[in-house]
Chains A and B, each alone.
Chain A
Amino acid sequence: MKEREYPQARVDCLTREFGNEVLVYDQQRNVGHCLNPTAAAAWKLCDGKKSASEVAKILTQQLSAPVDESVVQLAVEELSKARLLVEAEKPLRRTSRRHAIRTLGIAGAIALPLVTSLVAPTPARAASCLANGRPCVSNAQCCSGRCGVTSGHCGA
């Protein structure tokens, strides 16, 4: 039970490293996430066994810069919002971005943790859309976003 108290990264996602960043693809939700170096480093340490302060200590060593616990909490919050963590038994301790910035100082040696997410398109959405009056089978195919149910043509 104690293990679930601490943040744990999901292991069922595809990951690829791009330098210090990590691209995570969530196959369940068809969403891609880019973790910036701080978020990526925190995510790799979220094994369900380490507390935020323990993660902060390790990050301080890894990044050769002081990392406060509030920065780790912010990273955990970002990861949790992106649904990249196994749901915690205990609710997460909230921390504000403003507080984390204050802790880091104006010229912080590390960037604030950031997770950018984009939805993977369906094949129909990823291809060029059809002009009005062209035959269609779904709204996603039409530039206007409307495929007539009875006419089977893209409408204005």
Chain B
Amino acid sequence: MEKLDRLGWAEGIGVRAFGVHAGVRVSTAGVLPQVLPLLPPGCMKSRRATVQRLYSLVIAEGSQRAGVRRMHILYADSSRIARDTELGHVLAALETDLHRYIAEASPEMTFLHAGVVGWQGRAILLPGRSLSGKTTLVRELLRLGATYYSDEFAVVDDSGKVHPFTRPLGIREDSTYAQTKYTAETLGATSGIKPLPLGVVVICKYKAGARWKPALLSNGQGALELMANSIAVRNHPHQTLQRIQKLTAGTVFVKGTRGEANESAEPILNLNLLHRSNRGEKA
């Protein structure tokens, strides 16, 4: 770390997000504006002298020549986490690692790997591993009028409410798994601002040609599924289980395999109505 500290740093920024302090410094002036859009939603500038995680981005200087590959290098504290000739790739690595670190270290919130939309005052959670089709389903739910909360993390507070994490949707469009980013607004949807109580949790995986016939899960089974998609359960099991317990009170859990998103999206929105009628609320 001392060696890194001795390098000349042109500019930097300290941020606080969900109770985590992080910093980013860059070796070349003028790069920081490219970093700012990658910071997590809801983060604020922080002037704290010490941070929990410090990113150091060393920009390759000089022109690219034949036979010489000049790499941009990214460090998280003293560990090198990315190096690439494309600055965009290194910045994407910074975004991914920073968001994951905050999700892992936040003392204020529990982060679940899930897509989230708001519908009639309740959150619909779509937990699932990578490539299970969360973002595709979120996009379809937005098309039907749902409010965008996240395509990556459900952020849960102590009272069991779900907060927005409205980073642009990363839609994978080809077999290389590359993502194209779209804001909810460019897709004709609106982004949520207020934390919402949970209505429905839909655990599903895409399978071509499958029919959407979900099975109801018990609260215990549902909580187990949420545990299996929580970022920090290994580090903070007590806190994670406590928040999951709050989250599951009165929640409807369903699990199944879905085919195309446009066939399952509407029934999913209707599940939220089922939840409301179960609780005796007016639709």
Contact = CB atoms under 8 A, between A and B. Distances in A.
Contacts of B104: 123
A35 interface: yes
B248 A135 contact: no
A129 B229 contact: no
Interface band, chain A: 35 or more
Given A18-B218, A127-B96, A127-B103, A132 B224 contact: no
A25 B113 contact: no
A119 B233 CA distance: 10
B92 interface: yes
Contacts of A33: 224
A40 to B, nearest CB: 8
A144 B237 contact: no
B183 interface: no
Interface stretch (B17-25, B60-68, B81-89, B273-281): B81-89
Interface band, chain B: 35 or more
A36 B90 CA distance: 47
Given A34-B221, A36-B220, A128-B152, A120 B178 contact: no
A130 to B, nearest CB: 7
B241 A14 contact: yes
A134 B241 contact: no
A126 B231 contact: yes
Interface in A33-81: 33-36
B227 A118 contact: yes
Given A126-B129, A130-B177, A144-B177, 15 more contacts: A18-B245, A19-B219, A36-B218, A36-B220, A118-B224, A120-B230, A120-B237, A121-B229, A121-B231, A121-B233, A131-B176, A134-B89, A135-B74, A135-B82, A135-B89
Interface of B: 74, 79-84, 89-90, 92-93, 96, 99-100, 103-104, 113, 129-131, 152, 170, 172, 176-179, 218-221, 223-225, 227-235, 237-238, 241-242, 244-245, 248
